[in-house]
Amino acid sequence: MNREQKRSNRAVETIVTHGGRHPEDHHGYVNTPVYRGSTVIFRTLAELDDYSRPLRYGRYDSPTTQSAAELVSELEGATGTVLAPSGLAAISTALLAVLSAGDDVLITDSAYDPTRHFATEALGRLGVTARFYDPRIGTGIAELIRENTRAVFTESPGSLTFEVQDLPAIADIAHSRGAAVIVDNSWASPVYYHPLAMGADLVLHAGTKMFVGHSDVMIGTVSANAAWWPKLNRSARLFGTTVSPDDAYLMARGMRTLAIRMKEHSARSNEMATWLASQSDVLEVYHPALPSHPGHDIWKRDFTGAGSLFAFRLAPRPRTAIAAMVDGFEQFSMGYSWGGYESLCIPFDPTKSRSATTWAAEGNMFRMHVGLEDIGDLKADIAAALDRYRQAG
């Protein structure tokens, strides 16, 4: 599905600029064109019988989807990548490539809510047991692995409460017990985090977020190492996992600026998180790049930068105070996604997304995505929102 990968010594900025592009194959055009089509015509019976040909049917591949997948593979240092129609589709594709009826899977308790729902409902119907574990468990994962545990699913940091996981420790133990390790890398992207190099077997993205960068495409990716690529590739074909060539094109186009955008998102989220930590009524800021974060040492060891997303907790006040705060936003908006150029901030309740651990911290939680607006304007908007929060309480 991909050309031979180069993961070589090329820097990230170079990879996102040149990866997956082959102008010589497309009359010299810089970007791989959008190939819309289902049917591929074969000129001879020999061509029809040649199953080694890379392009045989629109559902399997096109030059557009190949280009996008090749770019992601080189960034992740993967043997191959499949594209999926959403982040959740990437999650389900990765899990179903590894698991079968009678298997057991361990999933971080800080996982994205749709991951939890898929694991407990869909996997349960298929005869797979899903159990959740404390995201800070580290080497303690050994006590949870059973004979039929076939996978450990991690998300680092968690997309609501931002616990950082000790991936190398978890991967070493999981592999010693015959379990594969799957990582949701949507937060840091391969610009700042390389799970496959630290022992993961499959790494996935809600490409809708940082890869696309413009809040206008639903897409996901799953990349695998050499051991798991054949199984992942075959499973995706059996499931009929495919994406629109238009969406693949838009994701690849967004990724050309990924390295630059990530630098801006990282710097801005760090600045906003540091500023928020000094504001009255802010009880705690959950950003791995802050020295006060419980997982900061692991983050500093394993990551080279931060994502745009973090959370903060305010002193307890009634729901009317939350409404007063968020209803008056001028620069921030409320929305369940993130990763685009626009800043977002939503209230959430982490107690509803736990089963292996208990969230006991008092107060109201908010998740913030820092976009590309002027940071002074963003701070002013939040300062005014905090004033409304205090006054309404």
| Catalytic residue set | 59, 112, 184, 209
Q: Which of 29, 14, 20, 24 is nearest to 2 (CA)?
A: 20
What is the dihedral angle through the alpha carbons of 274, 275, 277, 282, rounded to the nearest 10 degrees? -150
Cα–Cα distance between 50 and 258 in angstroms, integer? 37
- The DSSP secondary structure of 266-329, one letter per residue, reads HHHHHHHHHHHHTSTTEEEEE-TTSTTSTTHHHHHHH-SS--SEEEEEE----HHHHHHHHHT-
Question: What is the radius of gyration, based on Cα positions, of the chain?
Answer: 22
Element (H, E) at 347: strand 344-348
**How many residues are listed for the chain in this entry?**
393
DSSP 8-state assignment for residue 52: T
State how far the alpha carbon of 355 is from the alpha carbons of 281, 290, 294, 358, in Å.
28, 27, 21, 7
Cα–Cα distance between 93 and 236 in angstroms, integer? 7
Cα–Cα distance between 185 and 201 in angstroms, integer? 12
Cross-sheet strand order for the sheet of 309-314:
282-286, 309-314, 364-369, 344-348
Which tokens sit at 232?
């992942």
